[in-house]
């Protein structure tokens, strides 16, 4: 599971800053039900605190080498930012709760669940999505193996598995099949293509990743 | 026109062809319906009943309507309100006091209304601002409770007096007499719970009106033209005459749960109409579990008896199952006992209606339940008789029907005994059955771990259907376009069409362009009953041959040749008369500005129906913790003529894995106190991952002489029964219900003591 947790280190915004900014941390705000009310609340708080939102703020992400700027509310997850605001739809929204791995992207080279990180936290980091593995007609060897061994059916989980496997080989080019399978333990496939994924990953292990 | 047959020598059909869209899907470039973003698109969400049974006492939308970004709100009462037709107004122009107040909601997750806003975040905020007062009503969410209160007032939709409906009964022969005469008689109760489809792409769509007369939906559906038609019908019911186009280029799973626009399709279409903007509406994961379909449970008390030599003479099953608020049973009494031929039979089933989401077709409807009920009982019978259950299976197989052997030798009735006998032999070899099977509870041990092996059989139809149009267009640059409105659920249907057309035209499947999943292309039938490949592959062959013949007719005169002298071979066309050859491109170039188009529809003789299938599971069970470890599953499967061996093997392994999930992990759990499903997620609704999977050995029993038969459903049917029998073989005691979780295994061991 460690493969899919957010990387260690300090995120760009502290939890405290975020909660203060969105008003979720303040007891009084439980009484304030509307967005307008929260807007008022943040105006009141603004002089005292450093925070973001609740209205949209600028967010710049580096995705597959490109800098992309959007206006998003601070509560928007990295996954929703990619899919809804940047039209980068390779990472899929399946469970939205960090259990299925369909939204896996690489953040500074480590696989993470994009549904469990705020977009603002991903600023300044290198984000790789599945789309980066098929550029200028060049297909990366991991998705190529998925295609060759038919390690996908409906394919909705596949980009997540591909990124988890790529992250595994990036860190350990000599990973054994068992080690690669461990790296895929945080992903779920409903069609049941695990047997074909085994064929694919074994072919890559033989080649030394 | 000469009779169209599958080619005798097949260059591509039956080989392993990687799916054409593999790289696009693996790298996230394939756009699923959920990936469609349109300019100015709004995001919509649905508000659902928090209670298992309640009535809307009051509904106040005023705050939600004023919330930031909100562009439209439409209620379920409004979309269902067709009485307004008389006044010349659609339902959503009536106030909710008319359409919704007083409306009854029948389960946790029942739809109330939908809100479209500029962002999903705003839509979520607005949902919280809807003010509803509910009157809570009595509910029943446990089958046993409903059965006890058989005559109690109904808590589910409809006019039935009771929550329990008779699902039918059937008696053959003399079951009472046979029971008396039986040398071995065993009684047991077996069951599987309600499980949900868990499509990874949740149900939903993007709806966009190009004009008041024309609606396009990008909908995740396994019935592309059917869904467009249903939505068109719904809108017509509100006085809106328009065309509806459905696009489904890729879809993230269906498994039987995605045959129409559903309520979310109706809501999205109306929201888009009212807001005058495209609307995206997809369910969240919890909604998918609650309201997007499930497979009915089944429980049966079975009495099975026969002679000491293993001939089964009597099979009785009193069964019940729940479709939630739906009405379809989980047990099909017409095919019970499953697979085997038994003379004396008494079967009955009750349909127990409960306050949870409605059942929908799910991969081989009723078959996994029927298989589990029958195959567990067959093993218990074999164990009581002291016989190898494989031998008991061979002894009780249905015979080949002599009339069918004469009249239709490739039909399933003509071949069934031969198919099962061959497949049992192959499965026994691949699993080393003779070496590994042992009397129950008497196998090898490793400390507290005990070894077990079990077998189960299944059957399915998988026929081809008419009303599937395939179009093959050949252009002067040699390019070939294949079009069909059908859908690819993940089966590799796109590649099936390419293989068949490429085979017929002597080309490489990769050189073809295949466009599917667009309703306006033509007719196609929904992907239900494993009918897509057997419905469309024959149509593709006919279309390709028609296109080829048309190409010859148009080009031959330009070359001074006779069409009948031309022979098509891989990448070349030869004139028999002169011996002259042309490459495909050279020949097509003679079309000039012309193109040729061949149309094909399903014809009989190229597809078939009826398959067998045998699976063997090998397990180790820890008698101290109750943990079951799957070691190996062998699946032997026929599907007539295999088109793509690679995709076929993947379908079978995938079916086995869905069966493993049924056996080991899945169960919809509804709390009896609150009536709420407690595991509508992927944390507590378990699906197996990579590390849970045993070695899976797939053997395709190819029978090309039978023509194409569907493969999607059969391989998932018998896995859970085979695993259940393997656990029984390990422990010498039956674990009667899935999932085979440690507590159930320990409970079964404890009950024996």
Give the rounded distance of the alpha carbon of B517 from its chain centre.
18
Sign (positive or negative) of CA dihedral B329, B330, B335, B341 = negative
Give the closest residue to A152 by CA, choosing from B659, B517, B200.
B200
Strands B195-196 and B42-48: unpaired
Q: Quick check: A7 pLDDT over 60?
A: no
**Which residues of B are less than 8 Å from A100 in CB distance?**
200, 682
Tell me the nearest-neighbour CA distance from A179 into chain B, angstroms: 11
Q: Which of A95, A190, A196 sits opposite B653 (nearest CB)?
A: A196
The answer to whether the Cβ–Cβ distance between A91 and B37 falls below 8 Å is: no
Q: Which of A131, A140, A153 sits opposite B654 (nearest CB)?
A: A153
Residue B84: its pLDDT value, please? 83
Q: How far is CA B607 from CA A111, B539, B547, in A?
A: 46, 10, 21
The answer to whether the Cβ–Cβ distance between A188 and B687 falls below 8 Å is: yes
Contact indicator for B417, B398 with CB cutoff of 8 Å: yes
Residue B149: its pLDDT value, please? 73
Mean pLDDT of B50-60: 98
Q: Quick check: B663 pLDDT over 90?
A: yes
Residue B151: its pLDDT value, please? 66
DSSP codes of every residue in B149-196: TTTSPP-SSSS-SSSEEEEEEEEES-HHHHHHH-SEEEEEEEEE--EE
Mean pLDDT of B720-739: 98
Residue B113, sorted as left (phi over 0), alpha (psi -120 to 50) or beta, turns out to be beta
Give the closest residue to B646 by CA, choosing from B495, B497, B451.
B495
The answer to whether the Cβ–Cβ distance between A96 and B285 falls below 8 Å is: yes
The strands making up B449-457's β-sheet, listed across from edge to edge, are B445-446, B449-457, B614-622, B628-637, B695-700
Sign (positive or negative) of CA dihedral B669, B673, B676, B681 = negative
pLDDT, tens only, B96-112: 999 999 999 999 999 99
Q: How confident is the model at residue B488 (pLDDT cuts 50, 70, 90)?
A: very high
Tell me the nearest-neighbour CA distance from A10 into chain B, angstroms: 26
The answer to whether the Cβ–Cβ distance between A188 and B199 falls below 8 Å is: no
Q: For chain A, which residues make up each domain, given as ranges?
A: 2-8+54-131, 15-45, 133-206
Q: Which residue has the tokens 């300019």?
A: B39
Least confident of B58-72, B323-337, B409-423, B707-721: B323-337
Q: Which of A153, A156, A192 sits opposite B656 (nearest CB)?
A: A192
Residue A187: its pLDDT value, please? 98
Q: How confident is the model at residue B247 (pLDDT cuts 50, 70, 90)?
A: very high
CATH 1.10.150.120 fits A133-206, yes or no: yes
Q: Quick check: B190 pLDDT over 50?
A: yes
Least confident of B151-160, B243-252, B544-553, B718-727: B151-160
Residue A135: its pLDDT value, please? 86
DSSP codes of every residue in B617-638: EEEEEETTT--EEEEEEEEEE-
Angle at B469 between CA B466 and CA B472, to 5 degrees: 140
Q: Quick check: A41 pLDDT over 50?
A: no
Beta bridge partners of B15: B644
Mean pLDDT of B81-95: 92
**Interacting residues of B616 by C-beta distance below 8 A, sequence separation 6+:** B427, B428, B430, B431, B433, B453, B454, B455, B633, B634, B722
Tokens representing residue B313 in the block: 């003479």
A192 touches B at CB < 8 Å: yes
**Residue B416 domain-assigned (yes or no):** no
Boundary-marking domain end, from B258, B291, B324: B291
Residue A51: its pLDDT value, please? 77
Tell me the nearest-neighbour CA distance from A113 into chain B, angstroms: 14
Q: What's the rounded Cα separation, in Å, for the pair A151 and B113?
A: 39
**Residue B63 domain-assigned (yes or no):** yes
Question: What's phi and psi for B362, nearest 5 deg?
Answer: -140, 125
Residue A50: its pLDDT value, please? 62
Residue B685: its pLDDT value, please? 98
Q: What is the domain range of residue B471? A: 22-30+464-601
Boundary-marking domain end, from B240, B263, B291: B291
B74 and B95 assigned to the same domain? yes
Q: Quick check: B370 pLDDT over 80?
A: yes
SS3 (DSSP) at A110: strand
Mean pLDDT of B29-33: 98
The answer to whether the Cβ–Cβ distance between B690 and A93 falls below 8 Å is: no
Count of domains observed in chain B: 2
Residue A31: its pLDDT value, please? 37
Boundary-marking domain end, from B601, B626, B653: B601
Query: DSSP character for A83?
Result: I
Give the closest residue to B381 by CA, choosing from B530, B247, B183, B524.
B183
Q: Which of A100, A147, A151 sits opposite B23 (nearest CB)?
A: A147
Q: Which of A73, A134, A189 sits opposite B29 (nearest CB)?
A: A134
Sign (positive or negative) of CA dihedral A112, A116, A121, A123 = positive
Tell me the nearest-neighbour CA distance from B464 into chain A, angstroms: 22
Q: Which residue has the tokens 């649905």?
A: B46
Question: What's phi and psi for B645, nearest 5 deg?
Answer: -60, -35
Q: What's the rounded Cα separation, in Å, for the pair B316 and B320?
A: 13
Residues B614, B618, B623, B627: what is their CA dihedral angle, to the nearest 10 degrees? -90
User: Cis omega (within 30 of 0) on the bond before B739?
Assistant: yes
Residue B610: its pLDDT value, please? 98
Q: How confident is the model at residue B503 (pLDDT cuts 50, 70, 90)?
A: very high
Residue B160: its pLDDT value, please? 85
Just give the CATH number of A2-8+54-131: 3.10.20.30
HEC sequence for B289-327: HHHCCEECCEEEEEEEEECCCCCEEEEEEEEEECCCCCC
The answer to whether the Cβ–Cβ distance between A158 and B26 falls below 8 Å is: yes
Residue B85: its pLDDT value, please? 85
* Residue B203: CATH number of its domain: 3.90.1170.50
Mean pLDDT of B261-276: 98
The answer to whether the Cβ–Cβ distance between B654 and A193 falls below 8 Å is: yes
Contact indicator for B221, B332 with CB cutoff of 8 Å: no
Tokens representing residue A88 in the block: 């980068």
A116 touches B at CB < 8 Å: no
Higher-confidence position of B455 and B328: B455
Q: Within a 10 A sphere around the Cβ of B409, how many other Cβ atoms? A: 12
Beta bridge partners of B135: B55
Q: Quick check: B70 pLDDT over 80?
A: yes
Residue A36: its pLDDT value, please? 47
**Residue B427 domain-assigned (yes or no):** no
Q: Find the residue in A nearest to B632 (Cα).
A: A195
Mean pLDDT of A100-119: 98
The answer to whether the Cβ–Cβ distance between A150 and B19 falls below 8 Å is: yes
The answer to whether the Cβ–Cβ distance between A154 and B22 falls below 8 Å is: no
- List of long-range contacts for B161-166, beta carbons under 8 Å, 24+ apart: B163/B352, B163/B353, B163/B354, B164/B320, B164/B350, B164/B351, B164/B352, B164/B353, B165/B327, B165/B350, B165/B351, B165/B353, B166/B348, B166/B350, B166/B351
**Which residues of B are less than 8 Å from A187 in CB distance?**
689-690
Beta bridge partners of B370: none
pLDDT, tens only, B114-146: 999 999 999 999 999 999 999 999 999 999 999
User: Cis omega (within 30 of 0) on the bond before A54?
Assistant: yes
**Residue B264 domain-assigned (yes or no):** yes
**Which residues of A are less than 8 Å from B25 in CB distance?**
152, 155, 158-159
* Residue B577: CATH number of its domain: 3.30.365.10
**First vs last Cα of chain A: how many Å apart?**
21
The answer to whether the Cβ–Cβ distance between B200 and A152 falls below 8 Å is: no
Residue B330: its pLDDT value, please? 86
Q: What's the rounded Cα separation, in Å, for the pair B299 and B317?
A: 9
The answer to whether the Cβ–Cβ distance between A153 and B128 falls below 8 Å is: no
The answer to whether the Cβ–Cβ distance between B24 and A131 falls below 8 Å is: no
Angle at A9 between CA A7 and CA A13, to 5 degrees: 100
Beta bridge partners of B108: none
**Residue B42 domain-assigned (yes or no):** yes
Mean pLDDT over the full length of chain B: 97
Packing angle, helices A35-45 and A15-22, rounded to 10 = 120
What ipTM was reported for this prediction?
0.97
Contact indicator for B610, B675 with CB cutoff of 8 Å: no
Q: How confident is the model at residue A53 (pLDDT cuts 50, 70, 90)?
A: confident
Q: Quick check: A12 pLDDT over 90?
A: no
**Which residues of B are less than 8 Å from A91 in CB distance?**
28
Q: What's the rounded Cα separation, in Å, for the pair B91 and B600?
A: 42
**Which residues of A are less than 8 Å from B23 in CB distance?**
134, 139, 143-144, 147
High-pLDDT (> 90) share of chain B, % = 96
SS3 (DSSP) at A121: helix
Strands B614-622 and B449-457: antiparallel
Tell which A residues from 43 to 62 touch B, by Cβ distance under 8 Å: none
The answer to whether the Cβ–Cβ distance between B198 and A182 falls below 8 Å is: no
**Residue B489 domain-assigned (yes or no):** yes
Strands B695-700 and B628-637: parallel
Q: Which of A99, A159, A193 sits opposite B683 (nearest CB)?
A: A99
B26 and B38 assigned to the same domain? no
């Amino acid at each position: 599971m460690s493969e899919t947790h957010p990387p260690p280190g300090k995120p760009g915004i502290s939890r405290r800053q975020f909660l203060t900014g969105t008003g979720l941390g303040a007891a009084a705000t439980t009484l304030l039900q509307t967005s307008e009310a929260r807007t008022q609340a943040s105006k009141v708080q603004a002089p005292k605190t450093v925070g973001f939102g609740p209205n949209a703020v600028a967010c710049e992400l580096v995705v597959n080498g490109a800098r992309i700027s959007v206006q998003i509310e601070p509560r928007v997850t990295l996954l929703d930012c990619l899919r809804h605001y940047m039209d980068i739809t390779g990472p899929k929204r399946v469970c939205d709760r960090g259990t299925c791995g369909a939204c896996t992207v690489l953040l500074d080279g480590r696989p993470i669940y994009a549904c469990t990180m705020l977009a603002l936290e991903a600023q300044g980091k290198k984000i790789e999505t599945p789309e980066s593995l098929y550029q200028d007609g060049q297909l990366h060897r991991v998705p190529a193996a998925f295609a060759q061994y038919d390690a996908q059916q409906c394919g909705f989980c596949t980009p997540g598995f591909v990124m988890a496997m790529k992250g595994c080989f990036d860190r350990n080019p000599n990973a054994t099949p068992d080690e690669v399978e461990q790296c895929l333990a945080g992903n779920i496939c409903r069609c049941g293509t695990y047997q074909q994924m085994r064929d694919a990953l074994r072919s890559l292990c033989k080649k030394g990743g | 026109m000469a009779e169209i047959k599958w080619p005798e020598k097949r260059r591509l059909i039956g080989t392993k062809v990687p799916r054409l869209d593999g790289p696009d899907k693996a790298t996230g470039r394939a756009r699923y319906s959920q990936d469609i973003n349109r300019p100015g698109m709004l995001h919509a969400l649905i508000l659902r009943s928090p209670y298992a049974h309640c009535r809307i006492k009051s509904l106040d939308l005023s705050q939600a309507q004023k919330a930031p970004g909100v562009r439209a709100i439409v209620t379920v009462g409004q979309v269902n309100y067709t009485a307004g037709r008389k006044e010349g107004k659609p339902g959503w122009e009536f106030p909710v006091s008319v359409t919704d107040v007083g409306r009854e909601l029948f389960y946790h997750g029942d739809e109330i209304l939908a809100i479209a806003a500029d962002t999903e975040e705003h839509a979520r905020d607005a949902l919280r601002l809807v003010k509803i007062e509910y009157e809570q009503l009595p509910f029943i969410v446990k089958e046993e409770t409903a059965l006890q209160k058989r005559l109690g007032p109904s808590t589910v939709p409809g006019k039935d007096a009771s929550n329990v409906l008779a699902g039918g009964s059937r008696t053959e022969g003399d079951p009472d007499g046979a029971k008396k005469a039986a040398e071995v008689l065993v009684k047991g109760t077996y069951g599987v719970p309600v499980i949900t489809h868990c499509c990874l792409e949740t149900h939903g769509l993007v709806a966009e009106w190009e004009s008041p007369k024309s609606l396009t939906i990008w909908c995740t559906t396994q019935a592309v033209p059917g869904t467009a038609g249903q939505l068109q019908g719904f809108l017509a019911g509100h006085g809106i005459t328009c065309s509806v186009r459905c696009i489904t280029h890729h879809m993230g799973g269906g498994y039987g749960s995605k045959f129409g626009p559903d309520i979310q399709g109706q809501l999205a279409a109306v929201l888009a109409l009212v807001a005058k903007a495209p609307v995206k509406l997809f369910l969240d994961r919890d909604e998918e579990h609650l309201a997007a379909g499930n497979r009915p449970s089944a429980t049966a008390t079975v009495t099975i008896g026969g002679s000491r030599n293993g001939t089964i003479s009597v099979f009785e099953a009193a069964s019940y199952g729940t479709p939630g608020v739906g009405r379809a049973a989980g047990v099909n009494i017409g095919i019970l006992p499953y697979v085997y031929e038994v003379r004396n039979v008494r079967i009955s089933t009750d349909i127990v209606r409960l306050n949870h989401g409605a059942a929908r077709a799910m991969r081989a409807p009723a078959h996994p339940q029927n298989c589990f009920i029958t195959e567990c009982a067959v093993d218990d019978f074999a164990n009581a008789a002291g016989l190898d259950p494989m031998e008991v299976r061979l002894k009780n197989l249905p015979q080949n029907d002599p009339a069918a052997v004469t009249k239709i030798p490739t039909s399933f009735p003509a071949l069934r005994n031969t198919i099962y006998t061959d497949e049992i032999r192959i499965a026994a070899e691949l699993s080393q059955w003779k070496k590994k099977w042992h009397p129950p509870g008497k196998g090898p041990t490793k400390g507290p771990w005990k070894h077990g092996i079990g077998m189960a059989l299944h059957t399915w139809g998988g026929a081809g259907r008419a009303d599937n149009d395939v179009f093959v267009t050949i252009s002067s640059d040699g390019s070939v376009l294949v079009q069909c409105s059908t859908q690819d659920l993940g089966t590799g249907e796109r590649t099936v069409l390419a293989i068949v057309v490429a085979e017929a035209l002597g080309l490489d499947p990769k050189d073809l362009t295949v466009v599917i999943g667009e309703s306006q292309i033509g007719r196609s039938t929904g992907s239900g009953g494993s009918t897509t490949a057997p419905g469309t592959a024959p149509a593709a062959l006919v279309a390709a041959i028609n296109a080829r013949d048309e190409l010859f007719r148009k080009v031959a005169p330009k070359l001074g040749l006779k069409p009948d002298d031309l022979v098509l071979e891989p990448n070349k066309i030869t004139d028999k008369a002169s011996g002259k050859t042309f490459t495909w491109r050279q020949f097509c170039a003679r079309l000039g500005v012309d193109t040729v188009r061949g149309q094909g529809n399903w014809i009989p003789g190229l597809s078939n129906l009826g398959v067998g299938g045998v699976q063997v599971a090998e397990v180790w069970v820890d008698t101290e913790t109750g943990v079951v470890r799957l070691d190996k599953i062998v699946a032997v499967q026929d599907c007539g003529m295999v088109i793509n061996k690679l995709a076929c093997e993947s379908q079978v392994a995938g079916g086995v894995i869905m069966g493993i999930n049924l056996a080991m992990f899945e169960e919809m759990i509804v709390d009896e106190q609150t009536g709420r499903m407690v595991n509508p997620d992927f944390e507590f609704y378990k699906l197996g991952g990579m590390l849970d999977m045993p070695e899976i050995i797939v053997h395709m029993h190819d029978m090309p002489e039978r023509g194409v038969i569907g493969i999607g459903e059969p391989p998932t049917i018998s896995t859970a029964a085979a695993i259940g029998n393997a656990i029984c073989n390990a422990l010498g005691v039956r674990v009667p219900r899935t999932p085979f979780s440690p507590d159930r295994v320990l409970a079964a061991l404890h009950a024996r003591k």
